[in-house]
């Protein structure tokens, strides 16, 4: 008898994602050996109603991706946790690729390559840079669909309850427990925020926020500055 495949818990933190959520969730319905968990941070646009069309596991949690993803992990039954943004679509066979990657006991987790749902050259360059960083330094970000062994996630205490940089912090701590891998296929994420706020300005702002974090500035303070300048 073949060994049972590990259950993957797909955890999606959402906040006002009604416009993009169907495209994210529809391909996941009925995926074998998986469960779908949605954690809403207080949406006011019908997100909860959309989510309820795809799963019975829709929860409300304290706002903030770190808080919402930690809450989702507490509800999860899977040995593998996959954290997926509400405006990001997984590639075909994503779950099988994750399982194969984690067949290697030295791998703690990983992510996918990044692609934007845009034909603009500037965003293609941004995605290229993100993929280069992820491949060379093992530092993917949350919009690349982070996945992790549940044991490793719990061993490092999950996400820090920060309003920003929770993904950067998680990956850094995970790397102390094992390798982070970058899978060859790409997730497709919405470009709407980049296009609305401007690619150049968004790139500069994000780079400054990351620099501040690396210099030891509190993510709480950085989040206040982020809200002011948006």
For the chain, residues with pLDDT lower than 50 are: 1, 228-230
Query: pLDDT at position 3, please?
Result: 61
Quote the pTM value: 0.93
Query: pLDDT at position 119, please?
Result: 82
Ranges of each domain in the chain: 8-191
Nearest partner of 160 among 151, 169, 152, judged by Cα: 169
Q: What is the DSSP string of 91-159?
A: PTTHHHHHHHHTTSTTEEEEEEEEEES---HHHHHHHHHHHHHHHHH----GGG-EEEEHHHHHHTTSS
Query: pLDDT at position 2, please?
Result: 53
Q: Convert the pLDDT of each residue in 209-224 to its tens digit.
A: 999 999 999 998 888 8
Give the C-alpha separation, 76 to 81, whole Å.
Answer: 8
Query: pLDDT at position 185, please?
Result: 97
**For domain 8-191, is the CATH number 3.90.550.10?**
yes
Query: pLDDT at position 118, please?
Result: 86
Q: How far does Cα 97 stand from its chain's mean position?
A: 16
Using the 8-state DSSP alphabet, how is residue 17 labeled?
Answer: -
């Amino acid at each position: 008898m073949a060994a049972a495949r590990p259950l993957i818990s797909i955890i999606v933190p959402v906040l006002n994602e009604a416009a993009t959520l169907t495209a994210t969730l529809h391909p996941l319905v009925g995926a074998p050996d998986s469960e779908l968990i949605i954690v809403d941070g207080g949406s006011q646009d019908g997100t909860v109603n959309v989510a309820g069309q795809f799963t019975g596991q829709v929860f409300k949690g304290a706002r903030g991706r770190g808080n919402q993803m930690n809450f989702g992990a507490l509800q999860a039954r899977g040995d593998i946790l996959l954290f997926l943004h509400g405006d990001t679509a997984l590639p075909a066979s994503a779950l099988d690729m994750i399982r194969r990657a984690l067949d290697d006991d030295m791998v703690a987790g990983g992510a996918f390559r990044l692609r934007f749902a845009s034909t603009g050259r500037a965003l293609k360059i941004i995605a290229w840079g993100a993929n280069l960083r992820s491949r060379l330094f093992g530092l993917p970000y949350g919009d690349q669909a982070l996945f992790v062994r549940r044991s490793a996630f719990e061993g490092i205490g999950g996400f820090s309850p920060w309003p920003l940089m929770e993904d950067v912090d998680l990956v850094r701590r995970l790397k102390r427990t094992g390798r982070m891998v970058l899978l060859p296929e790409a997730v497709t994420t919405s470009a709407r925020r980049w296009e609305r706020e401007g690619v150049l300005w968004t790139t500069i702002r994000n780079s400054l926020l990351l620099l501040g974090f690396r210099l030891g500035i509190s993510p709480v303070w950085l989040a206040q500055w982020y809200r002011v300048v948006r």
